[in-house]
A and B are shown apart, each in its own frame.
Chain A
Amino acid sequence: AQSVTQLGSHVSVSEGALVLLRCNYSSSVPPYLFWYVQYPNQGLQLLLKYTSAATLVKGINGFEAEFKKSETSFHLTKPSAHMSDAAEYFCAVSDLRNDMRFGAGTRLTVKP
């Protein structure tokens, strides 16, 4: 069965600093990987997805993630944090049946 582990339940960065949110996956089949963002009292919004094409995936709001099979990782990065990036971020993996499995989430705080 597939699963993801998000390293660090809380990450705090200064505005303008690099954002790095870590995600490692486990899957018995070539995975599809996703990053979602959730703002308070809202649903999940897709940031980006990896579907076995390019290993470097660019998403919305300046985020990108790199699929590294050798490290079973799919870390999310953004070169320069903005106050509006403060939210909860979820990494997810889906197998051939498309039942998505989410990590526990990482809360990103951006300090002025």
Chain B
Amino acid sequence: DAGVTQSPTHLIKTRGQQVTLRCSPKSGHDTVSWYQQALGQGPQFIFQYYEEEERQRGNFPDRFSGHQFPNYSSELNVNALLLGDSALYLCASSRGQGRGEQYFGPGTRLTVT
């Protein structure tokens, strides 16, 4: 049973560019959440997708957007990259809209230069 997978593993971008990160949820899961983890900090909730719609959103600007596909996989897009966007981006999947436990992927390390 494959767990949560994310791609790419590492990414280096320049300020002002745009980036797309991808996530495939654990088998049987239909909800995907995205988190940003800056160096030395805990993960910060970005948003959550369920039934292809954004259901909850944390305190992140509109430069952060996402999408969920019919197969439950998800993308995180960040436009107009800033140096402060450098972080580990974690995807987590869960089942349904209830308070089920979330399973995390290994993350994508984004470096903005």
Contact = CB atoms under 8 A, between A and B. Distances in A.
Contacts of A43: 4, 90, 104-107
A111 B35 CA distance: 32
B33 A97 contact: no
B95 to A, nearest CB: 10
B45 A101 contact: yes
Nearest to A49: B101
A104 B41 CA distance: 5
Contacts, number: 63
A44 B56 contact: no
B58 A44 contact: no
B33 A104 contact: no
Nearest to B47: A99
A94 B41 CA distance: 18
A92 to B, nearest CB: 8
A66 to B, nearest CB: 19
**Residue with the greatest number of chain A CB neighbours at <10 A, chosen from B56, B58, B104:** B104
Interface string A4-22: 0000000000000000000
A15 B80 CA distance: 47
Interface string A72-106: 00000000000000000010101111111111110
Contact of A98 (B40, B97, B103, B104): B97
A34 B106 CA distance: 18
Interface string B75-113: 000000000000000101010011111111111010000
A76 to B, nearest CB: 15
Interface string B44-65: 1100100000011010000000
